[in-house]
Structure 1
Amino acid sequence: MRFKKQKRHRKAVRFYTTCFGFREPFKVLCDGTFVHHLLSNQILPADAALAKVLGGRVKVFTTRCVLLELKALGPSYSKAFEAASNLSTARCDHEIRKHAVTCIMEVIGKSNAEHFFVATQDTDLKKQLQEIPGVPLIFGLRNALFMEQPTALERQFVKSSEEKRSHISEVELNLLQKVTKDDEEETEITNEDGDLVGKNSEMQVLEKKKKKRGNLNDLKDRPQFKRKKTKGPNPLSCLKKKKKVDPNQHPVSEKKADDNTTKRTRKRKRARKTKTTAETGTP
């Protein structure tokens, strides 16, 4: 049962996010009856319980008129007043305190521009909010929180808005008529002096359109880049040409070998003086 409940809630949240533009963190507007229900059934902390229902981050709000109403109810609602005073306050712009139902209805407006989830236990407030498309409702049942499924009115509103988007608007229709009128004026034939001769026949107009289409097809068929021309072979991949050798001419290596054999190095001999000659001093 718990899995089925989470699945229903996830499906409803997805409906409001895709069709009405709700985004995280989800804003939840609470009235005094919902705050009192949370405290009496020990559903705390409130933001964690609401985040579990919606499956995302949550910001909890209330209004100044709701706080003043809880304060006026006396000591039996003192704990609810203290808990509600810790919440963020949504702007209601009421100098004089109004009833909580009227205050919340004015904050929501005709289209719920602020994208509020409304959490309440008041049945009259629920009925009034169900007539406005794009206002998801949250309520408590004992120690559990539930989210109401989208109504038939909301589903019909989404379907009609999608159909309007698919149809052509009046501005687009006027532009289309203007373009067709310009095309009809272009079919008129004028002579060299500029005088109007007549109008083209339907066959001529069709031929012109075919020619235009043919020109467009030619442009499409043309290559959008330069074709590579055939080039010569890569010089790095080619072998070098061999030099022709004369049969009468000796190779260089043989010549070098002959030179090495013919040339002989002669060492210079030095005359050494003997010890006797050195002692006598004779040359």
Structure 2
Amino acid sequence: MKVNKQKKHRKTVTFYTSCFGFRKPFKILCDGTFVHHLLKFKITPADEALANILNATVKLFTTRCVLEELKRLGPETLETLEAARQLIVARCEHERCEHPLKCFKEVIGESNSQHFFVASQDTEQREQLRQIPGVPLIFGLRNALHLEPPSAFQREYIKNSEEARSHMTEKEYQLFKNKFTTTLVGDEATNPPDEDNDLGDHKTIDLQPVKKTIVARKQMGIEDKPQFKRKKAKGPNPLSCKKKQKRSLENQASGQLKEKKEGDKRSRKRKRSRKRPNSTETTS
């Protein structure tokens, strides 16, 4: 399976698991056309092939109506009938054999509460099942199996359901309204209307010290807006203008002694005498 195909299938599976609550192992409801396609193109074992698409373990189901339909088609579908009998039979309450589409609709219900994947090669059947929320569809093309991406109806259904969750239902609104009215009645019982006037007086008293503080603040000369002072030109650094101090006599004398000692040391240095070879020695 190609990488792009794997990514698409993974996105589709995550959409149904996060939005509709599908869980592993996934249940796949197969009709006779899909089982026949698997045998025709030798896509066996079927559970492993479907597990590779969904990247999870699977359980294959069918219904009694599908088995009865395969029996009626005669010996041509005998091999398909034997393969379909090996699948798990989902419960359908039909006394007589019904069309697979009608049977699947009743098994799935209005919202696919049992979380079935539907595998079918019938295009009309897939078209009608797309109108049921939460029904992922699987079909085959030659020797490859494909998982259909979510239809526009599926995405619109999820969008509307999320918006509905963010608002109150009528029942919740009535509960909230009743609770609010009971709290108001309780407050009126505890606080009679005479006490409300007293509460108003208390409010005016509480506001008076706030006004006083504002007046006092203005008297002190403090303003709300900050004022920035301009920087004035400053004079030179006083340390740089300081006069040089004269050396004391003691320092001068000590400096002269140091100079004399250094001169004596320089004069006392021994000069190394080098002997020159005599002319006689050179001639000999």
Local SS of the residue matching 2:98: coil
Distance 1:88 1:189, change over 3 A: closer
Distance 1:186 1:201, change over 3 A: farther
Percent identical: 55
Distance 1:14 1:202, change over 3 A: farther
Gaps of 5+ in 1: 208-283
Q: Equivalents in 2 of 1:33, 1:111: separation in Å?
A: 24
Q: Equivalents in 2 of 1:199, 1:52: separation in Å?
A: 75
Among 196, 201, 205, the alignment partner of 1:200 is 196
CA deviations 1:101-139 (Å, max 9, x no partner) are 221122112111111000000011111101111000000
Identify the residue that residue 246 of structure 2 maps to in structure 1. none
Q: Equivalents in 2 of 1:202, 1:105: separation in Å?
A: 70
Equivalence map 1:94-173=2 (5 Å): 94-173=94-173
2:49 is equivalent to residue 49 of structure 1: yes
Q: Equivalents in 2 of 1:170, 1:66: separation in Å?
A: 43
Letter in 1 for 2:29: L
Local SS of the residue matching 1:95: coil
Letter in 1 for 2:184: E
Gaps of 5+ in 2: 204-284
Structure 2 length-normalised TM: 0.66
2:166 is equivalent to residue 174 of structure 1: no
Identify the residue that residue 16 of structure 1 maps to in structure 2. 16
Question: What is the aligned residue count?
Answer: 204
Instruction: Judge conservation of contact 1:112–1:134 (CA < 8 Å) in 2.
Output: yes
Letter in 2 for 1:72: R
Q: Equivalents in 2 of 1:99, 1:165: separation in Å?
A: 37
Instruction: Judge conservation of contact 1:188–1:200 (CA < 8 Å) in 2.
Output: no
Structure 1 length-normalised TM: 0.66
Local SS of the residue matching 2:95: coil
Identify the residue that residue 76 of structure 1 maps to in structure 2. 76
Equivalence map 1:226-241=2 (5 Å): none
Letter in 2 for 1:200: D
Q: Equivalents in 1 of 2:60, 2:176: separation in Å?
A: 49
CA deviations 1:70-104 (Å, max 9, x no partner) are 11111211110110011110001111111222211
